[in-house]
Amino acid sequence: MALREKERLKKLSDAKTGEDFYDLYLQVFGEEFPILNLRNPDEKLERLIEAIEKNQKIEGEKLPDGFNI
């Protein structure tokens, strides 16, 4: 379900927890937030918020075959 800009930004400002942000990403882009190989976990959330704000989906990293998370 594509949200209009005003709706998207309102929901973004209303989000309080990490789960709220991840759920909103799913709602905006129709897929879960991709896997990113980052050392700083705060950077992951910052990128997620920025992606929703700018309405630009993030390209995840391709994991090697057999890689378990």
27-58 per-position pLDDT tens digit: 999 999 998 888 898 999 999 999 999 999 99
From the number of C-beta atoms within 10 Å of its C-beta (0-12, 13-18, 19+), residue 39 rates as exposed
Tracing tokens 């309080």 back to the chain, one arrives at 16
Report residue 18 as tokens. Answer: 């990490």
> What is the reported pTM?
0.83
Phi, psi of 7 (to 5 degrees): -65, -45
**pLDDT at residue number 26:** 96
